[in-house]
Amino acid sequence: MFDLKLYLAEQREVIDRALAAWLAHPEPEPRIVAAMRHSLMAGGKRLRPVLCLATARAVGQPVPPAALTAAACAIEMVHTYSLIHDDLPAMDDDVTRRGRPTCHVAFDEATAILAGDALLTLAFEVLSAPEAVAGTNAKRWCQVVHELARAAGYRGMVEGQMRDIIAEHTVLTREALEALHRLKTGALIRAAVRMGALLAGASETDLAALDAYARHLGLAFQVADDILNVKGDPVLMGKAAGTDVTRGKNTYPSLLGLAASEALAVRLKDQALQALASFGTTAEPLRAIAIYAVNRNR
């Protein structure tokens, strides 16, 4: 039986080691590096970079390890930058993240903004590093860079965040809420899967199936997040619960109710699993991650 806990621990170790290497700096450490490290090395699930690695494994074609690790690190840097900015007073004004003070609390607001900017920029420095590009197909590598840039930008995650801010204290339709979350949360999850698939040279058929998996998984992950904000344990989550209601956020529990939201998360998980029907045992990590996404407690 596939051991997801062991798999995630092994992949996180690889990712954490590579991330730490990119932030290595002789003493005394500059304040901006300390702020970047504070958020980037705070732990977390590393779900997005793990998805990139797991998708490449599912496709089954060899990928230069340096290229795959660079893609995974770049994804996590973009994700962490988005969390730093999401926590700012101008956004969600959160004081804890992953069980520790948020970046603007630990440092200050200006430093947090710059730390987020620096991580976003560093992601593309990592992707363009000679050691990452060596041994890869140039066209395919450009597609990988394009996937991340598009998912992170105004047609992806940033647009989703903008829609979320505008919609506070209003009531969205279910269709509008889904569109918001496919951008805010789903875009980067989808990019992680597609980047891994592209690096491994996936066929058009396999890429379409993996894309469907990613779209269902991204939405399932967000529905589960909404549910955890209602009934999750703040100690386990490393952040406060109940904040969505306080901020007037549109969530699936507020729109559909808790029971219906839980049922929706299960349906989305099942659809993600169905999308992997044509894959063999190499896709077991992806299947396990889909199940974990809706059953997690943090």
Domain chopping of the chain, boundaries: 4-295
Dihedral sign of CA atoms 162, 214, 16, 140 in order: negative
Homologous superfamily in CATH for domain 4-295: Farnesyl Diphosphate Synthase (1.10.600.10)
Predicted confidence at residue 232, as pLDDT, reads 66
Nearest-CA neighbor of 84 among 106, 105, 110, 112? Answer: 112
pLDDT in tens, the chain (298 residues): 889 999 999 999 999 999 999 999 888 889 999 999 999 999 888 999 999 999 999 999 889 999 999 999 999 999 999 999 999 999 999 999 988 999 999 999 999 999 999 999 999 999 999 999 988 889 999 999 999 999 999 999 999 999 999 998 899 999 999 999 999 999 999 999 999 999 999 999 999 999 999 999 999 999 999 999 888 667 665 656 667 777 788 899 999 999 999 999 999 999 999 999 999 999 999 999 999 999 987 7
Please state whether the peptide bond connecting residue 130 to the residue before it is cis, i.e. omega within 30 degrees of 0: no
Give dist(CA 48, CA 178) in Å, integer: 20
The 3-class secondary structure across the chain, one letter per residue, is CCCHHHHHHHHHHHHHHHHHHHCCCCCCCCHHHHHHHHHHCCCCCCHHHHHHHHHHHHHCCCCCHHHHHHHHHHHHHHHHHHHHHHCCCCCCCCCEECCEECHHHHCCHHHHHHHHHHHHHHHHHHHCCHHHHCCCCHHHHHHHHHHHHHHHCCCCHHHHHHHHHHCCCCCCCHHHHHHHHHHHCHHHHHHHHHHHHHHCCCCHHHHHHHHHHHHHHHHHHHHHHHHHHHHCCHHHHCCCCCHHHHCCCCCHHHHHCHHHHHHHHHHHHHHHHHHCCCCCHHHHHHHHHHHHHHHCCC
Nearest-CA neighbor of 255 among 185, 182, 175, 179? Answer: 175
Give dist(CA 135, CA 233) in Å, integer: 46
Full-model pTM: 0.94
Token pair for residue 42? 């705070």
Predicted confidence at residue 28, as pLDDT, reads 83
